[in-house]
Structure 1
Amino acid sequence: MKLGVFTVLFSDKNLEDMLDHVAAKGIEAVELGTGGYPGDAHCKVDELLADEQKQKEFMEKISSRGLIVSALSCHGNPLHPQKPIAEEADAVFTKTVQLASKLGIHVVNTFSGCPGDHENAKYPNWPVSPWPNEYQEILKWQWEEKIIPYWKEKAAFAEQLNVKIGLELHGGFSVHTPATLLRLREACGPAIGANLDPSHMWWQGIDPVESIKILGREKAIHHFHAKDTIIDQPNTNRNGLTDMTPYSDMQNRSWYFRTVGFGHDSKAWADIISTLRLYGYDYVISIEHEDGLMSIDEGFTKAIQTLKPVIVKDSVGDMWWT
């Protein structure tokens, strides 16, 4: 395994300064935003697609510092009912897959998106209750008319270019649990997999270790984010887990994100790492920092300090004790 970072947290630095900074911290892999919610501070898709020499220079800047690119990321909503929003997300995703293929990067991370509830809807509709029955009707329409057709086409496109799609299981989007990921994968093929982030499992009441087992059995984990979550039980008793309190109002939220080790201890993270290895994931653990209680540098440094002792670097080889 390699320890990586989603570099969007250093968007204030240029590419070279960012690479120097993370390499000096002991990071071995970078996940680069190409547009959408993460922005494109370190990877300009249009510029790179148009110039093979720039592609070569770009990758040399990364490899010369002993780093690899774990994934390109363009989280957005390509199923948004407002066509300009959906078309922009789709265009960025399509170009990102093309660039990843040219650069020899095998994973593109994004969200599944979430449609509206009918053809003329204005906003996404995220059904999370099976009753009243209208919600089931909305969900059926979304999957049959929007989600599966779109991702079936994109999975075939990515597979042709030898790229895997890592969908982040994230609330507010149609694919947000192991079950919804596997439903889409069954319909669209193995190019579809998870960019699994345990922080979003914890707040949904899902044990990340068990989610790894569920997805790992199907070889459906393409990438992994390292981010933590804390549950505030008194606030959960008031608001529930589908809490609409703004992220900035942390004192009153049911849950909020923390840097690795500040929601769950090292043993919990050691169990996560070990289960990833048990089910065949031997790729990058990409730190994502969205902690409202500490600075980027402090949170990033503490995440590294938590993960380095528990990350498994070497394959076991032969079981000599047997």
Structure 2
Amino acid sequence: MHIGLLTDSVASLSLDDTLDLARDIGARSVEFAAGDWSTSPHIDVPGLLRSESDRAELLRRIAGRGLDLAALNASGNQLHPVHHIEYDGKVRDVIRLAGALGVTTVVLMSGLPAGAPGDTVPNWITTSWPPETTRVHDYQWNDVVLPYWADLAAFATAEGIERLAVEMHANQVVFSVPGVLRLREAIGPIVAANLDPSHLLWMGADPLAAADALAGVVAHVHAKDTRIEERAAVRSLLDPLTVPHVDERSWNFVTVGRGHDVRWWAAFVDRLRAGGYDGVLSIEHEDARVDGVDGVREAAGVLRDALDLSDADR
């Protein structure tokens, strides 16, 4: 297992400075984001699709730092009831580019549709009551999600993609382990998991148990941490306050190590290894209180120590 960098963590840096940072922290790989949820600060997807020479130059710059390209990230809501054509187009362009670059893993979300035909807002169902929520959930999965994903999987396979690594994320139809497994069972083994512990933590799941349950299914890992604040006892973990409200929220995304210590991360590595995963721990920095470069460096130090501790225990 090795350290990588999701380059949106330092979106203000140039491509070359970002690659230099990845090399300097001891990363072996990078992951570029270019879906609807990213400003795509480091790669121009349409331009790279048009130009073989530009693709070759990008790969040369990556390899020149002793790095490889672990994945492209197409995260967004491609099933949005209003913007689905635009957002799906971005997902497919990222898949095309991954194939053209020889990258076999694309990280993405499941998407979240409306609750009924004609609705204009995505509808996230997290409870079975009242009864109409179950009808909405069934409609989303059977009428929208599964047909869409059957087509997307066929498209990705034709482009040379081996793994569509679905991230369990809020406001998506797949937000927990059962959702990943349901989608994989219906569509096939091209559907895998991007295991990001930060989201599972604030939703009340245990990422260590999730790693066990996803043995053989994890294709990519984001190293991002969450701290549950004491005020969660009053506010609950369901918190609509936006990320900048750090001092008021019931939970916050924090630099790796500031929510869970090195021993926890070593245990996470152990559980991933036990399930057959030996890939990248791609640092994703979203700590509102810590500069991206500083946070990435701090996270890399924690992960190095965690990997060393895990190796010592083997």
Q: Which category describes the TM-score, using the shorter chain as reference length?
A: over 0.9
The range that moved more, 38-47 or 125-134, is 38-47
CA contact under 8 A between 1:273 and 1:312: conserved in structure 2? no
Indicate whether 1:181 and 2:190 are aligned.
no
Identity %: 36
CA distance in 1, matches of 2:214, 2:95: 23
> Amino acid of the residue matched to residue 277 of structure 1?
R
Which residue does 1:99 correspond to in 2? 97
CA contact under 8 A between 1:170 and 1:176: conserved in structure 2? yes
Q: Deviations over 1:27-84 (max 9, x none)?
A: 21111012311221111111111111111111111011100111101211111011xx
Correspondence 1:218-237 to 2 at 5 A: 219-233=216-230, 235-237=231-233
Question: Helix, strand or coil: the match of 2:247?
Answer: helix
> Amino acid of the residue matched to residue 221 of structure 2?
F
| Match 2:257 to one of 238, 251, 261 | 261
Which residue does 1:292 correspond to in 2? 288
CA distance in 2, matches of 1:97, 1:296: 27
Question: Helix, strand or coil: the match of 1:311?
Answer: helix
CA distance in 2, matches of 1:124, 1:27: 37
Aligned-residue offset at 1:22: 2.0
Which residue does 1:158 correspond to in 2? 156
CA distance in 2, matches of 1:237, 1:145: 38
Instruction: Return the structure number with greater relative CO, CA threshold 8 A, min gap 6.
Output: 2
CA distance in 2, matches of 1:292, 1:40: 20
The range that moved more, 267-276 or 5-14, is 5-14
Question: Helix, strand or coil: the match of 1:250?
Answer: coil
Aligned-residue offset at 1:227: 0.6
> Amino acid of the residue matched to residue 73 of structure 1?
N
Question: Helix, strand or coil: the match of 2:222?
Answer: strand
Aligned-residue offset at 1:312: 6.1
Indicate whether 1:29 and 2:29 are aligned.
yes
> Amino acid of the residue matched to residue 211 of structure 2?
I
Question: Helix, strand or coil: the match of 1:113?
Answer: coil
> Amino acid of the residue matched to residue 105 of structure 2?
V
Correspondence 1:84-233 to 2 at 5 A: 85-163=83-161, 164-216=163-215, 219-233=216-230
CA distance in 1, matches of 2:75, 2:218: 17
CA contact under 8 A between 1:2 and 1:313: conserved in structure 2? no
Q: Deviations over 1:271-302 (max 9, x none)?
A: 00111111111111000001122211221111
CA distance in 1, matches of 2:8, 2:26: 18
| Match 1:308 to one of 297, 300, 304 | 304
CA contact under 8 A between 1:226 and 1:288: conserved in structure 2? yes
Gaps of 5+ in 2: none
Question: Helix, strand or coil: the match of 1:292?
Answer: coil
Shift in alpha-carbon separation, 1:312–1:50, aligned structure 2, 3 A: farther
CA distance in 2, matches of 1:270, 1:89: 37
CA distance in 2, matches of 1:187, 1:109: 19
> Amino acid of the residue matched to residue 76 of structure 2?
G
CA contact under 8 A between 1:116 and 1:124: conserved in structure 2? yes
CA distance in 2, matches of 1:155, 1:313: 38
Correspondence 1:34-73 to 2 at 5 A: 34-73=34-73
CA distance in 2, matches of 1:206, 1:50: 43
Q: Deviations over 1:219-260 (max 9, x none)?
A: 211110001111123x22322222112222122211111111
Question: Helix, strand or coil: the match of 2:281?
Answer: strand
Aligned-residue offset at 1:207: 0.8
Taking only aligned residues, the RMSD between alpha carbons, in angstroms, comes to 1.8
TM-score after normalising by structure 2: 0.95
Gaps of 5+ in 1: none
> Amino acid of the residue matched to residue 51 of structure 2?
D
Indicate whether 1:239 and 2:235 are aligned.
yes
Question: Helix, strand or coil: the match of 2:214?
Answer: helix
CA contact under 8 A between 1:225 and 1:287: conserved in structure 2? yes
CA contact under 8 A between 2:9 and 2:296: conserved in structure 1? no
TM-score after normalising by structure 1: 0.93
Shift in alpha-carbon separation, 1:113–1:24, aligned structure 2, 3 A: same
